[in-house]
């Protein structure tokens, strides 16, 4: 497991491009029959990727659960949300099988002991993107299909940000301990996300960008609003955003991204807005 320790905004101002990428960018999440995990000390969130091809893969494969979490199994004191951004696949949770198609989401509550992943077709494998947060209580494991997400259209073509926010793991859809997750889909011709931008003093956020067409990238903006930096991101990469950092992006094409939040509350509009004209 890759462990990322907390970085503060003052030191961040002096980071090189390589240092910024090493601290916040998550690459190569999908390796055949493996679980790739990145543990961030920012709100102790864990980002995981699993691409089962010819095997049934356990969520804790390659993870020393006791050494990393001090627990007997991965979800003993954690909850996890996941999206399938690949071919059709199945997730089995303590014997119950959930079928996930493209862009479907599964929330697994604290206390689930055995979680495994399989793909329906090894030549078109599922890609399970996951974010896990500490949890102090248990709710209900639930499958949310893409058509059942709460949809919030926003933006316009005139400002190049016409998009639909799909809320999956969200108070309006189901109860969780602290984790919130959703998916934002930009329409063709739109490239900007999360403008006007904001920070979350009371929580952190993790993005993963996908459906970026070949030979295109997303310029992910981060840092304090008065001294921004960027990371050039490619398809199916993720990025960690501490509470002090903005999180916005502009692509060379339209794209889709999954957002995950954890921290003090789950109020979607708990944001400290920054006027676009005040950015530096």
pLDDT of residue 266: 73
Nearest-angstrom CA–CA distance, 143 and 233:
29
One-letter-per-residue 3-state SS of 227-274: EEEEEEECCCEEEEECCCCCCEEEECCCCEEEEEEEECCCCCCCCEEC
- For residue 268, the model assigns a pLDDT of 67
pLDDT of residue 203: 84
CA 185, 191, 195, 198 dihedral sign is positive
DSSP 8-state class, residue 8: -
- What count of other Cβ atoms lies within 10 Å of the Cβ of residue 270? 15
14-28: pLDDT as tens digits:
999 999 999 999 999
Distance CA 260, CA 109 (A): 16
pLDDT in tens, 73-130: 999 999 999 999 999 999 999 999 999 999 999 999 999 999 999 999 999 999 999 9
Joined together, the tokens standing for residue 146 give 């893409």
Decide: 36 and 129 in contact? Cβ < 8 Å: no
Cα separation, 234 vs 119, whole angstroms? 24
Q: Are strands 89-93 and 163-169 parallel, antiparallel or unpaired?
A: unpaired
Q: Report in angstroms the alpha-carbon separations of 11 from 6, 8, 194, 209, 241.
A: 11, 6, 25, 26, 15
* pTM over the 0.75 mark: yes
Contact 118, 90 (CB under 8 A): yes
């Amino acid at each position: 497991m890759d462990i990322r320790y907390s970085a503060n905004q003052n030191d961040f101002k002096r980071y090189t491009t390589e240092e910024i990428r090493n601290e916040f960018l998550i690459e190569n999440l999908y390796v055949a029959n493996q679980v790739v995990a990145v543990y961030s000390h920012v709100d102790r969130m864990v980002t995981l990727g699993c691409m089962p091809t010819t095997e049934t893969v356990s969520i804790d494969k390659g993870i020393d659960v006791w050494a990393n979490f001090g627990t007997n199994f991965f979800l003993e004191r954690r909850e996890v949300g996941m999206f399938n951004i690949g071919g059709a696949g199945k997730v089995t949770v303590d014997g119950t099988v959930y079928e996930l198609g493209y862009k479907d989401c599964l929330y697994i509550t604290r206390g689930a002991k055995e979680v495994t992943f399989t793909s329906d077709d090894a030549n078109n494998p599922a890609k399970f993107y996951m974010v896990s947060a500490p949890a102090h209580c248990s709710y209900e494991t639930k499958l949310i299909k893409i058509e059942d997400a709460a949809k919030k259209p926003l933006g316009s073509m005139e400002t190049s940000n016409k998009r639909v926010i799909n809320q999956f793991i969200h108070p309006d859809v189901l109860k969780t301990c602290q984790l919130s997750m959703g998916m934002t889909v930009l329409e063709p011709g739109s490239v900007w996300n999360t403008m006007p931008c904001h920070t979350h003093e009371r929580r952190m956020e993790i993005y993963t960008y996908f459906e970026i067409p070949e030979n295109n990238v997303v310029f992910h903006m981060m840092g304090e609003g008065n001294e921004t930096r960027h990371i050039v991101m490619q398809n199916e990469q993720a990025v960690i955003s501490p509470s002090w950092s903005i999180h916005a992006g502009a692509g060379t094409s339209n794209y889709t991204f999954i957002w995950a939040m954890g921290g003090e509350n789950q109020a979607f509009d708990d944001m400290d807005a920054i006027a676009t004209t005040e950015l530096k």
